[in-house]
Structure 1
Amino acid sequence: MMETYYAAVYWGCRVESAEECARRAETFFRHLSRCDPDYARWFEQADSRKKALQLQFDPSAETFMRFFKKRGYRLGKVGFSFGAWTGHESRERGGVVSLTCGDDAVGAPNNCILDLPREKPGAERVLSVSVLTEVLRAMVLAWEPDWGVVTSEDFRDSLSQEGDVGTFVGWMTYFSRSRGEVPSLPAPVRMELVENRGTLVILSSERLTVANSEQLVLGRHIQDVLLAKGLLKPVALTVQ
């Protein structure tokens, strides 16, 4: 069965205005558009594919301000929720973004999630370290999250029965500076700084897959090391 990959970042309570969320959304889509040609155009989601294909939008701060004024994109008194897709007829070929921002995060963390392509030609281009590090960087620079990951659902489930955000490692895992200092890790693992925001841990230069037993062993080992250092903990939902 084909593995399903995704990139995601999460952060806890951060109540922000529509203006602030719109600015962050514009930054994210602008950076993301440089990662791969498939991310150059976006459509609102709708009840049918035919209707959604009529809803292409320019991902500017002004556009998101207009969206966030709509009742359907608001989360009660604070926070916003929004979804978009790349317009590919087959969902497996393009991408889908879902985000929750500006929320008090009482029930679930704020987040930005990108479902990655499963089929050629998009999967061949996108599912690589060179592209996905830039995707995760785009998320970090825009949303300033606490934690983030690029992984497959199967690999995640093999390392974590609960799958609680912040508690497991993936192909790539991001830790904000607020989580603490990431220790030196053995090869082939490598680390990259994301400006002054935090550290990106990359398990392998090859595509990570649950079918590779050596990658699973490495993932479990690195997860144990980071757990012992106090870096793997659930994303806090509210300010203590």
Structure 2
Amino acid sequence: MHEWYYVGGYWGPRKETALECARRAELFFHMLARCDPSFTQWYRGGRGAPRSLPGHPVRPEVEEWEQLFLRGRLRTDVGKEVIEEFGFMEYVWNAKNKERTRVEFSCGAYSPGAVNTCLLRPPEVGPLRERILSAPLLAEVLTSLATAWDPDFAIAGSNEMVRLVRKRKGEVRVGWLTYLSRRLGTVPPLPAPVRIEPVGTLGWLLVLSPEPMSASNPDHVAFTSRVRELLDRAGLIRRPDPVTGEE
């Protein structure tokens, strides 16, 4: 079974300007570039991009990201007025077709029940996909995401595993790797081979296994479910308000 792996960070309503989001994006891509050479150059869409390139090159600078986020504001159908409380949306990629990694942002939203996200989608096929889907590299990516965006939680895993393990809509998800903010509570002792690492003073990174965890492996599903249950008992899974619009 081909599984769709992704890295996703999620946080609730947080009013931030385009400049504040741009500063977070600059830090995130600076840290991401140190994780893997393929994360060095990113591109955006738009008319007039060179045909030899995947798109318009994005400069990893605050000024450029601020303009991208301002361009990505949602507007009303009538009058095209900016809907301030919906924040900003943008996405970039680093290669063509199925060999690309794509990063998507929804940030600065502060309407009631809003969900802000940072999603990284590895290539669908190829050797780069295999390189990215390793515990050490994904741990670096999650640490970068947590440091730059300060989400409530973040995971690296497959959509299929999430669907099998999740019990309630809008809950904190548990994946192959999971980041939990200290705002959620304190991480309890967890069974081997789970590794728990602090991410600065922000939270904890949980690595459930040094090897890839698959939804097609019943043992992996059972172990992930067990870890989720222990975190739930510690009060780390249920979120105070239902969240919609998540990946």
Using the size of structure 1 for normalisation, the TM-score is 0.89
Please, which of 75, 90, 101 is the counterpart of residue 82 of structure 1? 90
Work out the percentage of aligned pairs sharing the same amino acid. 36
Q: 1:47 to 1:214 in 2, by over 3 A?
A: farther
Q: Is the 8 A contact 1:156 1:163 kept in 2?
A: no
The 1-side partners of 2:192 and 2:208 are apart by 9
Q: Which amino acid in structure 1 is aligned with residue 176 of structure 2? A: W
Q: Given the superposition, is the C-alpha separation of residues 45 and 127 from structure 1 closer, same or farther in structure 2, using an over 3 Å criterion?
A: same
**Local SS of the residue matching 1:69:** helix
Gaps of 5+ in 2: 75-82
CA distance 1:197–1:204, shift in 2 (3 Å)? same
* Residue 137 of structure 2 is aligned to residue 137 of structure 1: no
Matched with 1:41 is 41
Task: Give the whole-Å Cα distance in 1 for the aligned partners of 2:47 and 2:238.
Answer: 37
Q: Check the 8 A contact 1:109/1:236 in 2, yes or no.
A: no
Q: Secondary structure at the match of 2:84?
A: coil
Secondary structure at the counterpart of residue 82 of structure 1 = strand
Q: Kindly indicate whether residue 178 of structure 2 is the aligned counterpart of residue 184 of structure 1.
A: no
Per-residue CA shift, 1:6-60, capped at 9, x if unaligned? 0011111110111111100101111111111111111113589977834111121
1:103 matched to 2:109: yes
Query: Could you say if the C-alpha distance between residues 89 and 19 of structure 1 is closer, same or farther in structure 2, counting changes exceeding 3 Å?
Result: closer
User: For the residues of structure 2 that align with 1:179 and 1:190, how far apart are their CA atoms?
Assistant: 19
1: CA distance, partners of 2:242 / 2:191: 32
Contact 2:134 2:211 in 1 (8 A): yes
Alignment partner, residue 100 of structure 2:
94
What's the CA shift for 1:171?
0.3
Between the two structures, name the one with larger relative contact order (CA 8 Å, sep ≥ 6): 1
Provide the rounded CA distance (Å) in 2 between the counterparts of 1:155 and 1:36. 25
Relative to structure 1, the CA distance from residue 202 to residue 160 in structure 2 (aligned partners, 3 Å threshold; closer, same or farther) is same
Residue in 2 that maps onto 1:151: 157
Q: SS in structure 2 opposite 1:173?
A: strand
Structure 1 residue ranges, 4+ long, deviating more than 4 angstroms after superposition: 46-52, 235-238
| Counterpart amino acid of residue 69 in structure 1 | L
From the superposition, tell whether residues 156 and 32 of structure 1 become closer, same or farther in structure 2 (CA, over 3 Å): same
Find the counterpart in structure 1 of residue 130 from structure 2: 124
Is the CA contact (8 Å cut-off) linking 2:13 and 2:114 kept in structure 1? no
Contact 2:33/2:39 (<8 A) preserved: yes
Mapped to 2, the partners of 1:49 and 1:214 lie a distance apart of 47
After TM superposition, the structure 1 stretch with the greater mean CA deviation from structure 2, 157-166 or 16-25, is 157-166
Stretches of structure 1 that go unaligned for 5 or more consecutive residues are none
Q: Where do 1:217-228 residues align within 5 Å? A: 217-228=222-233
2:54 and 2:96 in contact (8 A); partners too? no
Q: Which one is further off, 172-181 or 76-85?
A: 76-85
Distance 1:13 1:170 in 2: 23
Residues 105 and 237, structure 1, Cα contact 8 Å, conserved in 2 = no
Relative distance call for 1:49 and 1:234 in structure 2 (3 A) is farther
Residue of structure 2 in register with 1:60 after alignment: 61
CA distance in 2, matches of 1:64, 1:237: 30
